[in-house]
Structure 1
Amino acid sequence: MPSPARPRGPKPNRMDPDQILDAAQEVFARDGLRAASLRAIAKQAGCDPALIYYHFDSKEAMFTALLARRFPPILQDLERVAAPGDPRSTALRLWEVVRIYHRHLKDDPAIRSLIRGEIVRGAEGLSDLIEARIRPIVMAIRSILDQGIARGELRADLHTLLGTFFLARMHLEILDLLPTVLPRLMGLPHDQAVETGLQVWFDLYWRGVARDPLAPLPPLPGLAADPIPIKETRP
Structure 2
Amino acid sequence: MRDLRVLSGGRGAPTVLLLHGLGATAEVWEGLAPLLPGAWVAPDLPGHGGSAPLPAYTFAAVADAVADLVDPAGTVILGHSFGGVVGLHLAARPGVRAVIGLGIKVAWTQDDLARAAALAARDQARFAAREQAVARHLRLSGLDGLVAPTSPVALAGVVEQDGQWRPALDPRAFGVGDPQIATLLAAAPVPVVLARGEHDAMVGAEQLRALVPDPVDLPGLGHNAHVESPAAVAELVLTHRA
So what's the TM-score if we normalise by structure 2? 0.27
Name whichever structure is richer in helix by fraction.
1
Structure whose alpha-carbon radius of gyration is higher: 1
Name whichever structure is richer in strand by fraction.
2
